[in-house]
Structure 1
């Protein structure tokens, strides 16, 4: 393939733009915020499960405490009723029965109140655990949201730079021979680099230094010959820096 030395030199400008675009694409995929968001999301998921378990524990204790309160209220109501009957007087046998039942109800009330107190202490601990995990969950959500904001800002900056680079690529490519650009694009899509400067006897693509017949081939090539590296097959652009 033939192309003027000037066209080949400008191919390096096109490659510089494409390299910048490739770097921006890589930067877009490898933003540190992406890993941070992913880690925070996993943490949030685990903390949400932990929060649900803590909430269930609190709800269960509240339900049990409520049941004990109802039982205690029933005992108190029964005691009040028996006490009223006792105060009203009556047969000795009936009074003795009421006194015995009141004693039994007092013991039952004491047992229920002790059990309720134990549950209330457990609920205090459970409330603290729920508050602690809820705090960690809120902090993790805040960290993720902050990372998402930083990600969005970084992506917006990258998009602007990509747009600028892309807009400069079109006129560069349009000003070069179509067959040269076609060959360049084919090589670039295969290896990521379509053209590189040949400098001091070394291919700028694979960094291999040419000797003997390979170097002689490059030296003997006409100025408008499109020379490719025998090793990496990239276009080797020759300029005054090539040392030929």
Structure 2
């Protein structure tokens, strides 16, 4: 393939722009915020489960306390009813009065036991609520941290996208000046060679693979017409001769 030397030199300018765009895209993909967001999101998911478990524990204790309160009310109501019957003086027999007195005493004992159980549950509930509050605090902090990270990531990505757009706009007129066949070869090589399709030949060394030309390859490069498109024998990239080629 042949192409004017000036067009071959333009390939280096195009390659520099493309490399810059690739580096910006790589930076966007590998922003530290991505890993931090993933880690924080994982922590947040764990805390969400922990918080759900803590809330369920508090709700279960509330249910048990409410159940005990209802039982205490029932026992208290029954005891009051029996006491009212005793105080009314309408009890006909001493046996019936004795039975009611025993029942009132039994109900008082039952009420006391229920209230003790309720007190224990309320203490457990206070401890559980404290644990829930502690998890909630960590959950809120992680939520805030994740939001901050996402804002920082979005800001950086926007800045990078702006730079990519500027470099892409710079690329278009450069690419348009290069002959179609030479540009097509460059694009093909760039796609298959890690983003580098053309490299400068400096000090007899390929700027792509860093291999130095010697022997037949060096002789051919020295003897080639200036419009001859050279290829590196090692990496097959386009070799662009410069004033520093050392030929």
Aligned partner (choices 138, 152, 155) of residue 140 of structure 2: 138
Match of 2:121 in 1: 119
Deviations 1:87-113 (A, max 9, x none): 223332222212111110111011101
Aligned partner (choices 110, 128, 142) of residue 108 of structure 1: 110
Deviations 1:1-49 (A, max 9, x none): 1112211111100000100111111111111111111111111111111
Structural RMSD (CA): 1.1
Query: Runs in 1 of length 4+ with deviation above 3 angstroms?
Result: none
Question: Between Structure 1 and Structure 2, how many residues are aligned?
Answer: 244
1:38-53 equivalence runs, <5 A: 38-53=38-53
1:1-80 equivalence runs, <5 A: 1-80=1-80
Match of 1:183 in 2: 185
Match of 1:200 in 2: 203
- Report the TM-score when normalising by structure 2: 0.96
**Higher mean C-alpha displacement, 87-96 vs 123-132:** 87-96
Which ranges of structure 2 fall in alignment gaps of 5 or more residues? none
Which ranges of structure 1 fall in alignment gaps of 5 or more residues? none
Shift of 1:180: 1.1
Shift of 1:177: 1.3
Shift of 1:151: 0.8
- Report the TM-score when normalising by structure 1: 0.97
- Indicate the SS of the match to 1:196: strand
Write the distance in 2 (CA, Å) between the matches of 1:38 and 1:232: 38
Match of 1:150 in 2: 152
Does 2:212 match 1:209?
A: yes
Deviations 1:154-213 (A, max 9, x none): 111011111101111110011111111111111001111010111111100001112222
Aligned partner (choices 228, 231, 234) of residue 228 of structure 1: 231
